[in-house]
Structure 1
Amino acid sequence: MIPTTRELRRCNDCGDPVLWTVTRAGRHLLVNARPDDRGNQACYRISPRTWQSRSLDAADALPLAAWEHPFMPHIATCKGRATPAPAVLPPNVVRLDTKRRRR
């Protein structure tokens, strides 16, 4: 199922059309506007203008149902996001993301 143009919004970073979904945990997730076979989010419409998504990568994830379609999370393809840090940093730079505590 393809979302209608009324259900789509524009990404603030790159301007591409995106679809807001609600995960089973109640969080919001941006996915690309079109289904993608490489996507890891199973999305389906639960009411007019409301879409639900669930991860296909979880350990206890069920296979894709007949009414679901795979979508790619927009964060994976967004062209407006800052480029990630290089894998090899200069010797005078400390990588802080590995030093931070997880919540």
Structure 2
Amino acid sequence: VGHAKLRTFILETAKGEKRWQQHHKGTYFDVPGPDIVGPYYLVTKGTWIGVLATWMRMAPYINGVKGACYVGVLSVKEGVERMIRAIELGESFVI
């Protein structure tokens, strides 16, 4: 799941759903679980950030959010690498 060099956390929501997160330089972000297929989207600015699978999972974090920033990515690996770069440049944060 996500980037091999980053620690992965598995959280369980109140609804019993599992949620995978990774951490880089003080920033936590979501990544799809191992059996989740795309399409994948990278959200670097929104009400939550991460690499998310499907428009339906991503939309609540960006729709109607002024300054939201997102892009489609071809793979989870690409999304996580771009997220790391955005965090290091100070360009990824929760709005």
When the two structures are superposed, what TM-score results if normalisation uses the length of structure 1? Answer: 0.29
Higher helix share: 2
Higher strand share: 2
When the two structures are superposed, what TM-score results if normalisation uses the length of structure 2? Answer: 0.30
